[in-house]
Amino acid sequence: MTRLSVLGATGSIGQSVAKVLAEHPEMYQVEALVGGRNAQALARMARQLGARFAALADPAGGPALAQALEGTGIASGAGPEAVLDAARRETDVVVSAIVGVAGLAPSVAALGAGRRMALANKECLVAAGDFFMAEAAQVGTEILPMDSEHNAIFQALSAAPARAVECITLTASGGPFRKTSRAEMEHVTRADALKHPNWSMGAKITIDSATLMNKGLELIEAHHLFAVPAAQLDAVVHPESVVHGLVSFVDGSVVAGMALPDMCVPIAHCLAYPERLSFPARRMNLVQLGKLTFEAVDEGRFPAFALARAAMATGGGAPTILNAANEVAVGAFLEGRIGFYGISDMVARTLEKMAVGPAPSSVEEALSLDMEARHVAAECALALS
């Protein structure tokens, strides 16, 4: 059996992982699960999947988790050290799906010789991409992209050697405001921004999809995952969310990764790689689809995307600053302290105020720069409130 650990088990990705595992319980032994604050949800999943260890990031939830698992034989812990212990346990595959920069240290701790990491935490690559990929290579961990777009690119790249790649294109649904004017977007609400047309995700990534910051962050991810220069990366709006990524080759050929919107599809690919798991995902019917639509990204209406592209081109610590400022800005928007365009304004002001140094070369450097950028972003939020 393949031993598996899931960091971020109670989030939307973790729940989709559980659906895939439920289809093939004979193939996987769940070694460890990590959750955030919901002790009852983590305990239910640990019992459902037969996990050997469950860890909660919130130390205050430790007693509730232990009580919920009493008599099951499942060991448990709570707090940062328990999370790192879970990440370091012997396993074959680690799913990294903790949301935000909080997932960086556990993901680095989970790197180890002979194992694979199915990566769904973009902050590992945006905040510390050079360090993270070098560390994975040094210790011998194979990184498999679990996000639908990067997974599609990963599969498409198998068509030819890397030297034959001319361009990589990610697709964006366009979010809830694809056809909304800038004047109207000035007044959209939290509820409006959380109505994603195609995907069911957590609040933070849903807002990132509404601003298109998420697509900019994904370009930075692709830069590190596939070792492709920024100039060879692009994105287009594709409202059907059927084509998740395209690779253009030097001979004019284009290979597209396609599937109906369902995170279980890239998850199943990563969990079984290089084999394939049978999974009852909806099958694509091209006749029923009828047509596929593609549009250019309007950077005037979506300045967050332009900020991310500029940070990628600048390099060094710019993506780390961008990511930290964006997390603070999204939080301020969700709390009603700034408007929708206040998100990109906060990020832009933070980047303007901070000197961009070299890229972080350790978890500690990444977290230090992240914290500094958060302080600056918080000051910018006060100015915009």
Residue 52 CA to residue 73 CA, distance in Å, equals 8
* Residue 311 token pair: 């940070």
Q: Where are the domains of the chain?
A: 2-146, 298-385
Identify the CATH number of the domain defined by range 2-146: 3.40.50.720
CA 158 to chain centroid: 22
Instruction: Give the domain 298-385 fold.
Output: Rna Polymerase Sigma Factor; Chain: A (1.10.1740)
- The three-class DSSP label of residue 341 is helix
- pTM: predicted TM-score of the whole model, two decimal places: 0.94
Give the amino acid at 115. R
- Which of 174, 168, 136, 171 minimizes the C-alpha distance to 153? 168
- 201 pLDDT band, cuts 50/70/90, is confident
CA-wise closest residue to 67 among 48, 92, 39, 97: 39
Q: pLDDT digits over 245-257, tens only?
A: 999 999 999 999 9
Q: What is the mean pLDDT of residues 149-164?
A: 96
Angstrom distance (rounded) from CA 104 to CA 109: 9
pLDDT for 276-301, tens place per residue? 999 999 999 999 999 999 999 999 99
Q: What is the mean pLDDT of the chain?
A: 96
Average pLDDT over residues 362-384: 95
Q: Is the pLDDT of residue 202 over 90?
A: no
Three-class DSSP labels, 52-86: CEEEECCHHHHHHHHHHCCCCCCEEEECHHHHHHH
Residue 314: both structure tokens together: 């600048």
How high is the pLDDT of residue 198?
Answer: 74
pLDDT in tens, 72-121: 999 999 999 999 999 999 999 999 999 889 999 999 999 999 999 999 99
